[in-house]
């Protein structure tokens, strides 16, 4: 397969694929019919995106989800503890303890927040974490390296 490079039409931004030996030639754009010059784009414009900015955003969102669920669980635990003990005094102490426990409970999800299969790890953690095996399983899974970590390789 010949090595093709991509550039964009200067008029309509239509992506164009061409052989690098054609660089500098004027061709009519297949999309808008205007003459456009084929050019080899700077490295940054190649298919490969900046991996940092791509991976950080979802992992922060995942962390946010885990913390929200942990806080909700802590509130539920606190509420039920207060209802059962029949005294509002304990609330101040019960809530931080519940919050710490639920964050500990979600350690596998926090570890796996950067993973492609975060949702699966999180579900296992949430649904089976109370069985110790489920918790350990989720943690081990979260530590397993992603198969395609570091972006898809260009062949
Ligand atoms: Zn065009």
45/118: higher pLDDT: 118
How many Å lie between the centroid of ligand 1 and the Cα of residue 7?
A: 11
Instruction: Tell whether the model's pLDDT for residue 152 goes beyond 60.
Output: no
Q: Residues 107-138: pLDDT tens digits?
A: 999 999 988 899 999 999 999 999 999 999 99
How many Å lie between the centroid of ligand 1 and the Cα of residue 27?
A: 10
How many Å lie between the centroid of ligand 1 and the Cα of residue 3?
A: 22
Return the pLDDT at 153: 47
How many Å lie between the centroid of ligand 1 and the Cα of residue 39?
A: 14
Closest alpha carbon to 104 in 81, 123, 83, 130: 130
How many Å lie between the centroid of ligand 1 and the Cα of residue 42?
A: 20
Return the pLDDT at 122: 94
- The CA distance from 94 to 82, in Å, is 8
Instruction: Tell whether the model's pLDDT for residue 154 goes beyond 50.
Output: no
Return the pLDDT at 155: 44
How many Å lie between the centroid of ligand 1 and the Cα of residue 8?
A: 8
3-state secondary structure the chain: CCCCEEEECCCCCCEEEECHHHCCCEEECCCCCCEEECCCCCHHHCCCCCHHHHHHHHHHHHHHHHHHHHHHHHHHHHHHHHHHHCCHHHHHHHHHHHHHHHHHHCHHHHHHHHCCCHHHHHHHHHHHCCCHHHHHHHHHHHHCCCCCCCCCCCC
Domain boundaries, the chain: 5-43, 51-143
- The CA distance from 149 to 32, in Å, is 38
pTM check: above 0.75: no
- The CA distance from 104 to 64, in Å, is 15
Instruction: Tell whether the model's pLDDT for residue 19 goes beyond 50.
Output: yes
Token digits of residue 47: 């298919």
Q: Residues 48-68: pLDDT tens digits?
A: 555 555 556 778 889 999 999
How many Å lie between the centroid of ligand 1 and the Cα of residue 21?
A: 20
């Amino acid at each position: 397969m010949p090595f093709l490079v991509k550039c964009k039409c200067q008029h309509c931004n239509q992506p164009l694929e061409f052989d690098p030996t054609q660089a500098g030639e004027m061709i009519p754009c297949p999309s808008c019919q205007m003459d456009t010059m084929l050019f080899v784009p700077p490295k940054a414009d190649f298919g490969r995106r900046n991996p940092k900015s791509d991976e950080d955003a979802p992992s922060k969102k995942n962390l946010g989800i885990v913390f929200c669920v942990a806080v909700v669980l802590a509130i539920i635990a606190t509420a039920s503890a207060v209802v059962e003990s029949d005294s509002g005094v304990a609330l101040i102490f019960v809530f931080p303890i519940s919050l710490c426990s639920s964050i500990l409970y979600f350690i596998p999800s926090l570890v796996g927040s950067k993973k492609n299969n975060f949702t699966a790890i999180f579900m296992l953690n949430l649904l089976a974490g109370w069985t110790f095996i489920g918790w350990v399983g989720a943690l081990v899974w979260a530590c397993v390296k992603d198969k395609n970590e570091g972006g898809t390789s260009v062949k």
